[in-house]
Amino acid sequence: MNIRTVSTTPFSDQKPGTSGLRKSVSVFQQPHYLENFVQSIFDSLEGYQGQTIVLGGDGRYYNRQAIQIILKIASANGVGRVLVGQGGIMSTPAASCIIRQYQAFGGIILSASHNPGGPDGDFGIKYNVTNGGPAPEKVTEAIYARSKVIDSYKISDSPDVNLDKLSVLRMGEMAIEVIDPVEPYARLMESLFDFDSIRQLLQSDFRICMDSLHAVTGPYAKNIFEKRLGAASGTVTNGKPLEDFGGGHPDPNLVYAHDLVEVMFGDNAPDFGAASDGDGDRNMILGRNFFVTPSDSLAVLTANAHLVPGYKDGISGVARSMPTSAAADRVAAKLGIDCYETPTGWKFFGNLLDADKVTLCGEESFGTGSNHVREKDGLWAVLFWLNILAATGKSVEDIVKEHWATYGRNFYSRHDYEEVDKAKATELMERLRGMVGTMKGQKFGEYEVEYADDFSYTDPIDSSVSQKQGIRIRFTDGSRIVFRLSGTGTKGATLRVYLESYEPDASKHDLDTQLALKPLITMAEEIALIRQYTEREEPTVIT
Of the chain, the percentage scoring pLDDT greater than 70 comes to 99
How many Cα atoms occupy the beta-carbon half-sphere of 381 within 13 Å?
Answer: 38
Confidence of residue 490 (pLDDT cuts 50, 70, 90): low
Q: Where are the domains of the chain?
A: 3-181, 185-406, 409-542
- pLDDT above 80 for 504: yes
Confidence of residue 255 (pLDDT cuts 50, 70, 90): confident
- Mean pLDDT, residues 57-82 taken together: 98
* Strand-strand pairing, 81-89 and 106-110: unpaired
- Mean pLDDT, residues 367-393 taken together: 97
Give the pLDDT of residue 543. Answer: 84
Phi, psi for 299 (deg, rounded to 5)? -65, -40
- pLDDT above 60 for 489: no
CA distance 433 to 84: 45
- Mean pLDDT, residues 362-376 taken together: 95
Q: What distances in angstroms separate CA 443 from CA 7, 223, 260, 450, 511, one per listed residue?
A: 60, 55, 42, 10, 25
Give the pLDDT of residue 445. Answer: 87
CA terminus-to-terminus distance, the chain: 53
Element (H, E) at 432: helix 422-435
CA distance 456 to 75: 41
- CB-based contacts of 506-512 (< 8 A; 24+ apart in sequence): 506/404, 506/405, 508/409, 509/401, 509/404, 509/405, 509/409, 511/411
Element (H, E) at 459: none
**Fold assignment, 3-181:** Alpha-D-Glucose-1,6-Bisphosphate; Chain A, domain 3 (3.40.120)
Of the chain, the percentage scoring pLDDT greater than 90 comes to 92
Query: Identical fold at 185-406 and 409-542?
Result: no
Q: Which is higher by pLDDT, 419 or 396?
A: 396
Question: Right CATH number for 409-542 from 3.40.640.10, 3.10.20.90, 3.40.50.720, 3.30.310.50?
Answer: 3.30.310.50
Give the closest residue to 485 by CA, choosing from 277, 378, 282, 343: 343
Q: Which is higher by pLDDT, 147 or 488?
A: 147
Q: Which sequence positions are flagged as catalytic?
A: 113
**Fold assignment, 185-406:** Alpha-D-Glucose-1,6-Bisphosphate; Chain A, domain 3 (3.40.120)
- pLDDT above 90 for 69: yes
Give the pLDDT of residue 276. Answer: 95
- pLDDT above 90 for 539: yes
The dihedral through the CA atoms of 441, 444, 447, 453 has a sign that is negative
Confidence of residue 488 (pLDDT cuts 50, 70, 90): low
Close Cβ partners of 99 (under 8 Å, ≥ 6 residues apart): 54, 106, 107, 128, 130, 131, 132
- Least confident segment among 222-236, 386-400, 474-488: 474-488
pLDDT digits (tens, 9 = 90+) for 77-109: 999 999 999 999 999 999 999 999 999 999 999
Confidence of residue 486 (pLDDT cuts 50, 70, 90): confident
